[in-house]
Structure 1
Amino acid sequence: MDENNNDASSSSIEDLYKIDVIPSELFFKFRKQIEGFRLGLNLEFFNLESNEYEAKMVLKPLSPERRWKFIYEPIHGDIRLLSKKIPITKYLNLQVGIGHSFHHNTIGWKWKLSTCLGGDGISQIRNKTAIGLFPGFDLRIGWRAEYVLPEIHGAVGTGEPVFDMNYGRLHASIDRVEAIVNM
């Protein structure tokens, strides 16, 4: 998404505003609560063209102050212990983890800074919206919107137009859909 005014004036409205409603990731999550813990089985499908998939088993405490979750990926032979996302500021989170790969016989750790805002010169919002369809079954939709806000500008005596407008841009997409079954 380029902020060039010449592109905005030569592009049609359909080129400037695009909304993708076909998700690139589908998740089926089965969850069971067992004595203060949640045990989950996640079936994750990516890139519908190539039919990539993953399976994960997740164990985490149910308490509000939970600080960790344990993940086992049988296909990759990986186990991980991850911290919960630790808020550093209102919009910035840190997550750390340690893991072991049985296939590669290696142990390592990772860290990740994440935010719901950001982008490279483009404003971006990422979020998840949960919809409870009926007791024990929820849909969670992960969506993203990248945008450049419209702008009105002009000039006098500079050779530029007295009045001009950049129409802005919007690219919104549904990135993932999770069907969550609580047993």
Structure 2
Amino acid sequence: MAFREELSAAHGDRVHISPQDECGLLDLAPWLETPDPGTKVYCCGPAPLLAAVELACAAWPPYSLRTERTAGALPEPVHQTAFEVELRRTGRTVTVMPDTSVLHAIRQVGADVLSSCEQGTCGTCLTPVLEGTPDHRDSILADHERAANDCMLPCVSRSRGDRLVLDL
């Protein structure tokens, strides 16, 4: 709703605004019932809406749906132990303790990483991974992006092993 005026101005009648308090629950079928090759579906909102859109897009081609959650539910880390993070460009290495985020730890040694939500829901702190396997705990990366293990959100994600090397 925050961008309704800008979207309507830019896209005219292609934008449909349906506030639940005025229109009830969305009827997703007219928009999502039939997969449309090459079309991407972007959805941000409360968990029940995202679940309904995910269900409606179940038959769509892989990677057609991108969701953004307004509040992340963090899974437990794979390892509850400390690990090392090397910042390749600066040559610095930091130990990330179990009770500290990677983002906090790397900032302590001078890494300048932008962040916003610090809950793994916005993607602002997305950081390239050069070595190691991240323990992805965000709610923004798609399965294929996680499987690539070439980036992570250091605000919430951790390491599956003893060491990560970031392109910082």
TM-score (norm 1): 0.23
Structure with a larger share of its residues in strand: 1
The answer to which structure, 1 or 2, has the higher relative contact order (CA under 8 A, 6+ apart) is 1
TM-score (norm 2): 0.25
